Amino acid sequence: MDVRSSLAAQAYAATRPATEPKAMPGGPAGGTDLQKMAGDFAATLQQGEATAKAAMTGGADPHALVQALAQTELAVETAVTVRDKVVEAYQEILRMPV
Q: Is the residue at 51 inside a domain?
A: yes
Note the pLDDT tens digit of each residue in 13-36: 766 666 666 666 655 555 588 888
Q: Answer whether residue 22 is part of any domain.
A: no
Any domain includes 19: no
Q: Which residue has the higher pLDDT, 56 or 9?
A: 56
Q: Residue 27 in 3-state DSSP? A: coil
- Rounded to whole angstroms, what are the CA distances from 12 to 3, 5, 21, 35? 14, 10, 17, 24
pLDDT surpasses 80 at 52: yes
**Single-letter amino acid, residue 43:** A
> Would you say 71 and 47 are in contact if contact means Cβ atoms under 8 Å apart?
yes
Domain, as residue range, for 42: 31-98
Question: Quick check: is 89 in a domain?
Answer: yes
pLDDT in tens, 70-82: 999 999 999 999 9
Would 85 be classed as within a structural domain?
Answer: yes
| pTM greater than the 0.85 cutoff | no
Instruction: Give the integer Cα–Cα distance in Å for 14 and 58.
Output: 24
More confident residue, 83 or 22: 83
98 located within any domain: yes
Is the predicted pLDDT of residue 88 greater than 80, yes or no? yes
Our count of domains for the chain comes to 1
